[in-house]
Amino acid sequence: MEKSSQSPSIGTPITPTSQNQSVDSSNASKPPLPTNFSKKTSRQVSDVWDHFTRIEDNPNDPRAICNYCQQNYAAGHRIRGTSTLRNHLMNLCQKYPFRLEDKKQKTLIFQKKNIVGCESVGGSNLVAVVFNQNACRLACAKMIIIDELAFRFVEQEGFKLFCSVACPKFDIPSRVTIARDIMKLYNDEKKKLRDYFVKNSQRVSLTTDTWTSIQNFCYMVLTSHFIDHEWKMQKRILNFCQIANHKGEKIGKAIETCLKDWGIEKVFAITVDNASSNNVAIIHIKKRLQIWKSAVCDGEFLHMRCSAHILNLIVSDGLKDMDDSIAAVRNALDMLELLSLVKSCLSKLISRYSDEVKIKNPPEVNSTQSGSSIQEKVSMIDSDDDDSVNMFESEFDKECDEDDALDMKNELDRYFMDRNEDRKQKDFDILVWWKMNSSKYPILSEMARDVLAIQVSTVASESAFSTGGRVLDPFRSSLSPKMVQALICCQNWLRSSPMPLDMSSILEDIETYQSCDLGK
């Protein structure tokens, strides 16, 4: 790493500009270079080595020791750069005499009041902050994930120039370091989300879809949908994994593996398109849920067909009967486009010939022929709606145990006797209504929480691929499947609205702490 001619090196004492920034002169001298270094080396040595000494007793495991606190790190030829050693000096070593950071010195900034996902909401507050190298590295990793940037972005000249002005104290990580930070962030966020699912025994609905990358690798995305305790719809991508092929058995086993990894056993419904392979996958998952004894109504209503796919089939069937008409219109447009190129010649021909050009009317659509096929697909949507209603009623009957059947029946009677809400209101929100009435209908609200989380289409899974285009671009196609999954899942988690804390668990913890204080 070459020294910059415009900024002092890490080992160079900074000339104090005020009394608060004075440096102890007794520690200001730099230690001599280690004897195992040659000053005539062809490659310029990083200034970090002014503060570390190599230990090469074991050629297979060379180490470097800090000249101030004697902490040692691996320093073999396989280690790229000196980021680890530099981070030790700037953030960990308590005896380093040239630290630029003053823990007591704070800076006043205007900080946004609320940040939902990645968007700022509301005004800002004037707060005092201190520089934090780890926080900057974490924010840098999030930037790479959210904005879909290549890892080499942190090593580009423009970004380094910006950081040198905006935050000179920030030690910019290498592309290798940022990749490690991203994997660590993914694992940390995954643990938080998994703990939420396991601790709350959260029942989820799923959407899944399969795609093919530009390298002809098959990928499956699995997305969970649920309503949290604040009645906010949540969507979290669980997996974006590579599978061998698009066969139903492979898809079913991949979903099963994912659910086990996340500790999820309570699945309410799975929304997929009408591909035959998905039927096989649903049968596989249905058997597993029956074994886990967590299937609602024994999995009778587990399979939900994607309404968007059904509508696409309806439109496609309708257009088949108009193929001749559409082809005629397209041919006419092509002819007009070509004729515009020879407009001057045509004007002369028209003046010589007075015959009118007759355009044949396009054939009419056989409404009788297309009506039957369209009606069949419309009936598929109607049957799905009936299934949703039957599922709600069947789950209610299942929940009616003998002990509390009377209370639930009375609750259902009250629900049907209450005045209907005007759903034509523009601001009517069904989730807000259930949030306000959950205490009035405690059992029905839990059922509604599961039913309303069912997705009517797989668009939620399809949109996981990109914020504006194809996610599996050449850069991501060059990464390992594990890294691709980390990038796509983490982007979804960082963009999603935060889930509220479960107050019941917090109250339980408070009671536990109080009992400990009282010696119980």
Q: Residue type at 312?
A: N
What is the pLDDT tens value at each position of the chain, 520 positions in all? 333 334 333 333 333 333 333 334 334 344 444 444 444 444 546 778 888 888 877 777 788 899 989 988 887 655 456 788 888 887 788 888 766 545 556 666 666 655 555 555 555 666 667 788 889 999 999 999 999 899 999 999 999 999 988 888 899 999 999 999 999 999 999 999 999 999 888 899 999 988 777 777 788 899 999 999 899 999 999 999 888 888 889 999 999 999 999 999 999 999 998 888 899 999 999 999 999 998 888 888 899 988 888 888 888 787 777 777 788 888 888 777 776 776 676 666 666 554 544 444 444 444 444 445 545 544 554 455 455 545 555 555 555 565 556 566 688 888 888 888 877 778 888 999 999 999 999 989 999 999 999 998 887 655 544 444 444 666 677 788 899 899 999 999 998 877 765 544 444 544 554 554 444 4
Pick from 230, 224, 184, 232: nearest CA to 202: 224
Residue 304 parent element (H or E) = strand 303-305
Q: Tell me if 83 sits within 8 A of 171, measured CB to CB.
A: yes
How buried is residue 269: exposed, middle or buried, by Cβ count under 10 Å (0-12/13-18/19+)?
A: buried
Query: In sequence order, what are the residues at sequence separation of 6 or more whose Cβ sits closer than 8 angstroms to the Cβ of residue 19?
Result: none
What span, in angstroms and rounded, lies between the C-alpha atoms of 270 and 17? 65
Name the DSSP letter for residue 12.
S
State both tokens at 135. Answer: 């926080």
What span, in angstroms and rounded, lies between the C-alpha atoms of 288 and 283? 9
Pick from 344, 339, 309, 298: nearest CA to 456: 309
Task: Note the pLDDT of residue 259.
Answer: 94
What span, in angstroms and rounded, lies between the C-alpha atoms of 18 and 388? 72
Query: In sequence order, what are the residues at sequence separation of 6 or more whose Cβ sits closer than 8 angstroms to the Cβ of residue 382?
Result: none
Side by side, the strands of the sheet bearing 267-272 are: 233-243, 218-227, 204-212, 267-272, 303-305
Domain residue extents for the chain: 49-92, 132-173, 183-309+454-504
Residue 481 parent element (H or E) = helix 481-495
Task: Note the pLDDT of residue 463.
Answer: 54
Query: In sequence order, what are the residues at sequence separation of 6 or more whose Cβ sits closer than 8 angstroms to the Cβ of residue 378?
Result: 314
Measured in whole angstroms, the distance separating CA 179 from the mean position of its chain's CA atoms is 17
Separation of first and last alpha carbons in the chain? 60
Dihedral angle of Cα 464, 466, 469, 474, to the nearest 10 degrees = -120
Residue bearing tokens 């694992």: 187
What span, in angstroms and rounded, lies between the C-alpha atoms of 233 and 235? 7
Residue 134 parent element (H or E) = helix 133-146
- Written in H, E and C, the secondary structure of 233-287 is EEEEEEEEEEECCCCHHHHHHHHHHHHHHHCCCCEEEEEECCCHHHHHHHHHHHH
Give the pairing type, strands 233-243 and 218-227.
antiparallel
What span, in angstroms and rounded, lies between the C-alpha atoms of 88 and 96? 9
Task: Note the pLDDT of residue 370.
Answer: 44
Helix (H) and strand (E) counts for the chain?
17, 10
State both tokens at 258. Answer: 């994912």
What DSSP string runs through 418-474?
A: SPPP-TT-TT--HHHHHHHHTTTSHHHHHHHHHHTT--SSSHHHHGGG-SSS-SS-H
Give the CATH class of 183-309+454-504.
alpha beta
